Amino acid sequence: MSGPAVRVTPGLHRRSAAGSFRTFDPRIVGVLECAAWSAYYRRDWPAFAVSALRVGRHAFGLSWKATIHCSWLMLRANQLWAPFPDNDAERSRRMMERFYQIIQRLYDEPFDPAMAADLELQWWRVHRDGQRCTDGPNGPLLADALARLYAHVYGVPEPSVRLAAEERALAMRYSDDWVREGCHQDSALLAHERDALVRSYADLLKAIQRHRRTAGTG
């Protein structure tokens, strides 16, 4: 399925595929994403919007204009997805497709924004199913879904990003435990979640750089 076509906002210039889309700082992005997850589960949408702005800026190397546009799409996608069981998965997917269209066009990337949005929603769904499963979260299935997304968006072999996906799935397990325990801001689980996210982004960056060297684009 594909959503409506989206033009890049005037003033958002294309960047090289070898640019900051692939040269993020794992520690900064991991810390910011941990803050975004915390805000999401507290349904603190203003705090989530601020964190999403900062994640977009650091993870994708966007201009502030593009950052604001992409962060709004991310905010709306998460707001539409958040209610259970009456969320609006299709509208959420369309928001994420528009998000990935901007990233794809800015960096002249070969990935398919519609497929990227589908893969994004797939891991959201696997994670939510695991949260409500009596057997607990299914880490391997979640890691599989995350690895497929990373491989598609960054154009790398899926096995090369498996470790990054596993660390991200571990971070979600800490996050789920934190939610079950009442979302206390002084919980040690938040530190464990943050550290797993930092490791995940570090492993992802290594996989991206290794592939660029192998392909002769680094």
The number of beta carbons lying within 10 Å of the beta carbon of residue 193 is 25
What predicted TM-score, i.e. pTM, was given to this entire model? 0.85
- Domain tally, the chain: 1
Q: How far is CA 95 from the centre of its chain?
A: 13
Please report whether residue 85 resides in a domain: yes
Please report whether residue 1 resides in a domain: no
Please report whether residue 4 resides in a domain: no
Q: Taking a C-beta distance cutoff of 8 angstroms, is the pair 38, 215 a contact?
A: no
Please report whether residue 163 resides in a domain: yes
Please report whether residue 7 resides in a domain: no
Selection from 214, 168, 199 nearest residue 37 by Cα? 168
Which structural domain, as residue segments, surrounds residue 58?
A: 20-215
pLDDT at 191: 97
pLDDT at 209: 93
DSSP string, 132-150: T-TT---HHHHHHHHHHHH
Selection from 76, 166, 81, 75 nearest residue 125 by Cα? 81
Tracing tokens 């900062």 back to the chain, one arrives at 54
Please report whether residue 181 resides in a domain: yes
For residue 190, give every residue at least 6 positions away whose Cβ sits within 8 Å of its Cβ, in sequence order, or none.
34, 38, 174, 178
- The burial class, CB within 10 Å (0-12 / 13-18 / 19+), for 186 is exposed
How far apart (Å, rounded) are the C-alpha atoms in residues 150 and 162? Answer: 9
Please report whether residue 11 resides in a domain: no
4 three-class SS: coil
pLDDT per residue of the chain (218 residues) written in tens, 0 to 9: 333 333 333 333 344 333 467 889 999 999 999 999 999 999 999 999 999 899 988 898 888 889 999 999 999 999 999 998 899 999 999 999 999 999 999 988 999 999 999 999 999 999 998 887 755 556 789 999 999 999 999 999 999 999 999 999 999 999 999 999 999 999 999 999 999 999 999 999 999 999 988 877 54
Name the token pair of 160. Answer: 């090369």
Please report whether residue 15 resides in a domain: no
pLDDT at 134: 52
